[in-house]
Amino acid sequence: MTGTKNRQKSILMICCLLAVSMLAGCGAKPTDESSNALTESNATISASELVVAGNEIAIGVDPTVYPAADYLLNMGAGEILFKADANGVIQPYFAKDVSQLDEYTWEIKLHPNATFWSGDPADAEAVIASLMRSKALDPKANPFLQGIDFTAVDSETIQAVTETPNVDITLNLSSPQLLIHNTAEKYTYESIETADYTGMYRIVEFKPAQCMVFEKNENYWGTKPEIQRVVHEQIGDADARVIAALSGRYHVVMDIPQSAYSQFDNSEEAKIVLVPGAQTQTIYLNCEKEALNDYRVRQALGWALDREELIALGMEGLSEPVTTWLGSNPTYEKVKNAYYDSCNVEKSAQLLDDAGWILDEDGFRYKDGQQLTILLRTFRNDQALGETIQMQWKKIGVNVSVQHGDYSLITTARETGDWDASVEAWGTFGNVSALLNAQYAADGPANYGRFQDKKLAGMLDSLAQAATTEERIKIGEEISLYVAEQSPALYIAPRPQITAVSTSLEGFVPHFRQFENVVNANLRIK
């Protein structure tokens, strides 16, 4: 009963906080009217203002500092040269057209009159400068631009020459991290005064960890949107996001927790849009820690995972198991459930015994007087998943503590080394060489555990030199199998994208990439 009462109190508090945000929320237009009028205007959906909420917003506006580019793209403020449609087909976006001249050379045509918000021309020279700044400053963008030289043929034409014949330029340049921005501006992380992009909306207000407000770019080079303003608010609490989605104030609420799925069954205000995301929910292991530097310990943790239970308890049954990182990519169906084809606690126990971690009377394992402990860090949405992992690893004698927080806390912990394991989902759609290098190369931006392996490095080199699609798939499968065996990271399931969309909103297009599924020029509020 106590737990129920506490939850009721929490929900009541959330409702109060949500009501306050509706009254004085970010992006509220100045008014001389009474507070009652303000209450009414903010509680009612406007046909000229799109209100979006999510687990977090960008904490800065420099697109080279993650995750600013993702959110700017999502809100229609920024653009990339090419973009995957909802079916995964790469289409020109900021680019007008593309042609392949030979196996190494591509020609990219730009729209002739495209400009940045400032009015500066977004021509070939400007676009190349943008790509080079992203390559130099953003470790997440760098892998997609390696081995490519760009030259401006004229103001509307870019020539791209690759070092190897296997690079699909359009796929590489569809990364959200390659947001086009005006490098003539001297960007500061939080200042919107220096922000200068090409999108249909301009940023006019920014409060870190609170909100971003955008207004229609009247000089936009492309099809102008009907909606005048976009307000993107951060609602960190999962229960609060559900209440917000059901309140009728918000048009789109991202990051709906899986546990709330059924609450929308009879809602007249919003409906759930569920999309299987092309991204794999991953447990990264810190291989620089002494215990986790032993592959037997890593394998023991892998065999102890009951993925069906993890999906049932931690993901509301809204996914299916994968045991390799590329397993969420349909191209790699063959290795979807390779190596860890079942949960095997007995095998886990034997591996830990072999590694010298002996089970004590207290139910935990010790070696040389040290207890086998793991600090598991998870994103806020993954609390139930983290607690289920904790329960499963405790069965094999591992003392697991779980800490939940926002993304900045996880990244800080990685920088300081204050972590043993962390849960995160990375997208698996794109150039497979760039993706796998990001995950497994010694200096890869997603090789969080700093796993280093000479054999794996050689396999990655072979993948980079592969001349055909068939060869790339074959080597990708081999890498997947080898990584599963070495277990520098453990894989659970594709993370579903769960979004609540107002019944008053027309033109919303579900997308397997989380940051490409909100703003488009065809949105209309009834």
pLDDT for the residue 25: 54
pLDDT for the residue 6: 43
Are the CB atoms for 325 and 480 separated by under 8 Å?
A: yes
pLDDT for the residue 33: 33
pLDDT for the residue 307: 94
Enter the DSSP assignment of 311.
H
Q: How confident is the model over 277-315, as pLDDT tens digits?
A: 778 899 999 999 999 999 999 999 999 999 999 999 888
In this prediction, the residues of the chain whose per-residue pLDDT falls under 70 are 1-46, 166, 189, 514-515
pLDDT for the residue 87: 75
Cα torsion angle, 188, 124, 513, 140, sign:
negative
Question: Quick count: other Cβ atoms within 10 Å of Cβ 356?
Answer: 14
Q: What angle do CA 86, 92, 98 make, to 5 degrees?
A: 140
* Phi, psi angle pair for 286, to nearest 5°: -80, 95
In the chain, the domains with their CATH numbers are 11-58+198-269+503-525 (3.40.190.10), 82-178 (3.90.76.10), 277-496 (3.10.105.10)
Length of the chain: 526
| DSSP string across 387-417 | HHHHHHHHTTT-EEEEEEE-HHHHHHHHHHT
pLDDT for the residue 30: 37
Q: 482: helix, coil or strand?
A: helix
Strand-strand pairing, 373-379 and 399-405: parallel
How many whole angstroms separate alpha carbon 282 and alpha carbon 424?
5
290 burial level (CB within 10 Å; 0-12, 13-18, 19+): exposed
Q: What angle do CA 127, 186, 114 make, to 5 degrees?
A: 30
* Strand arrangement of the beta sheet that strand 358-359 belongs to: 358-359, 365-367, 370-371
pLDDT for the residue 333: 85
Strand-strand pairing, 358-359 and 365-367: antiparallel
Question: Quick count: other Cβ atoms within 10 Å of Cβ 215?
Answer: 15
Q: Inter-axis angle of helices 295-303 and 469-486, to 10 degrees? A: 100
Radius of gyration of the chain measured on its C-alpha atoms: 24
Tokens 């591996």 belong to which residue?
Answer: 351
Q: How confident is the model over 129-182, as pLDDT tens digits?
A: 999 999 999 988 888 898 899 999 999 999 999 988 767 889 889 988 999 999
Residues ≥6 apart with Cβ < 8 Å to 373: 398, 399, 400, 401, 420
pTM value surpassing 0.75? no
First to last CA, the chain: 43
